[in-house]
Amino acid sequence: MKFDRKHLNTIQSLLPVQIFLCYCFVISGLIVNFAQLLTYIFIWPFNKQLYRRINYYLGTLLWSQLTFLYSWWADSSVTAYVNPQDLKDLQHEYAIILVNHRYEIDWLVGLVVAQKIGLLGGLKIVGKRSLSLLPILGWSWFFSESIFLRRIWESDKKVLEHDIQQLLNGYPDNYYFS
């Protein structure tokens, strides 16, 4: 059933709908963060591959809510034009894709693109250290092994070298990073 935009705007503007969506995101986000914490404590020290696999699905649970809001609330869509063979390779190989954003909403569009090509759960960021302190989002980035920087090159260079090496230590032998 397709709503016309006028009815959809009416539904979206209702305070109970907005409160319900926020409530669902906060509660489910805290549940995901708690599950991530448990896997970090009980699985990470013993089996990083299993930890990453579980965290992939936990991340997808959290981030897909934001991509839904982007698509539904803004009535927007993203079309990714990708060579079919490249898409197949992206979905079955390990890759590091670097993007930079200029606007406040760019990171959300990046999430939508990652979801379109099937990589949403494995998403990692390189961001300001203060982002790791954000409840739900920042905590999830922390548990997904994202890299956080202070924006002081002398210390950030060491952090980047160390954290990238930590990421590479748990990946398959045929993984290449340059």
| Mean pLDDT, rounded, for 85-111 | 79
Give the model confidence (pLDDT) of 21-64 as tens digits: 999 999 999 999 999 999 999 999 999 889 999 999 999 999 99
Write the CB contacts of 10 (distance below 8 Å, at least 6 apart in sequence).
Answer: none
Q: Which of 147, 130, 135, 146 is nearest to 34 (CA)?
A: 135
Q: Kindly report the pTM of this predicted structure.
A: 0.84
174 has a pLDDT exceeding 60: no
Q: Which of 25, 29, 33, 28 is nearest to 142 (CA)?
A: 33
Residue 113 lies in a domain: yes
Residue 175 lies in a domain: no
| Mean pLDDT, rounded, for 111-117 | 86
DSSP-derived secondary structure letter, 141? H
- The end-to-end CA distance of the chain, in Å, is 49
Residue 46 lies in a domain: yes
124 — pLDDT class (breaks 50, 70, 90): confident
Residue 38 lies in a domain: yes
Residue 80 lies in a domain: yes
Other CB atoms closer than 10 Å to residue 105's CB: what's the count? Answer: 11
Residue 70 lies in a domain: yes
Give the residue, 118 or 30, on which the prediction is more confident: 30
Residue 147 pairs in a beta bridge with 126
6 has a pLDDT exceeding 90: no
Q: At which residue do the structure tokens 């079955």 appear?
A: 92
Is 79 exposed, middle or buried (CB count within 10 Å of its CB: 0-12, 13-18, 19+)?
Answer: exposed
Residue 77 lies in a domain: yes
Looking at residue 80, what is its pLDDT?
76
Looking at residue 3, what is its pLDDT?
62
Phi-psi region of 83 (alpha: psi -120 to 50; beta: other; left: phi over 0): beta
173 has a pLDDT exceeding 60: no
In the chain, how long is the greatest CA-to-CA distance? 56
State how many domains the chain has: 1
Residue 148 pairs in a beta bridge with 127
Residue 174 lies in a domain: no
Which structural domain, as residue segments, surrounds residue 35? 5-169
153 sits in which H/E element: helix 153-169
Give the residue, 54 or 123, on which the prediction is more confident: 54
